[in-house]
């Protein structure tokens, strides 16, 4: 898969400035625009402000103030069809499958990240959650 096949805006959420800097460099190589958030609370606020432009969220799991799992739940409440790639330094912190479109472990490699981003962006969710009713 050509890592430059798709473009868009990505919300990158990580509390570590060096991780954000490195991931931004990788994403810009793939011709993506990036909005940064420093933790889960910031991510939800940024998503509320920019959700019409955000194609994908890349989010760390363990962060201060609000972790990635809780932030993802809030983002999914705003838009069930939002696409989220979780990242973590530990494979023991795998996110719930209903929230994650993909999961990558740090340190991230550019080609792997861009291939995963493109794969997730090309995938379509075809079913909405059943909300009950008759």
What is the rounded distance in angstroms from the CA atom of residue 42 to the CA atom of residue 22? 19
Whether 1 is in a domain gets the answer no
Whether 129 is in a domain gets the answer no
Question: pLDDT (tens digit, 9 = 90+) per residue, 83-103?
Answer: 999 999 887 777 888 899 999
Helix, strand, or coil here: 63? coil
Question: pLDDT (tens digit, 9 = 90+) per residue, 26-48?
Answer: 999 999 999 999 999 999 999 99
DSSP letter (8 states) at residue 67: -
Segments forming the whole domain that contains residue 15: 8-122
Whether 63 is in a domain gets the answer yes
Whether 132 is in a domain gets the answer no
Residue pair 84/59 in contact by the 8 Å Cβ criterion: yes
CATH number of the domain enclosing 110: 3.40.50.2300
Whether 18 is in a domain gets the answer yes
Residue 128 pLDDT > 60, yes or no? no
pTM of this structure: 0.87
Number of domains in the chain: 1
Considering the chain, what percentage of its residues have pLDDT values greater than 70? 88
Whether 15 is in a domain gets the answer yes
- Write down the pLDDT at residue 125: 57
CB neighbour list of residue 18: distance below 8 Å, 6 or more residues apart: none
């Amino acid at each position: 898969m050509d890592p430059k096949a798709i473009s868009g805006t990505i919300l990158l959420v990580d509390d570590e400035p060096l991780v954000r800097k490195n991931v931004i460099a990788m994403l810009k190589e793939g011709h993506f625009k990036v909005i940064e958030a420093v933790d889960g609370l910031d991510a939800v606020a940024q998503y509320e402000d920019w959700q019409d432009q955000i194609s994908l969220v890349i989010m760390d799991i363990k962060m201060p103030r609000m972790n990635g799992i809780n932030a993802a739940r809030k983002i999914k409440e705003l838009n069930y069809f939002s696409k989220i790639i979780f990242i973590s330094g530990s494979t023991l912190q795998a996110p719930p499958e209903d929230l994650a479109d993909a999961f990558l472990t740090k340190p991230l490699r550019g080609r792997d990240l861009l291939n995963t981003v493109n794969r997730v962006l090309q995938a379509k969710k075809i079913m909405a959650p059943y909300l009950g009713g008759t």
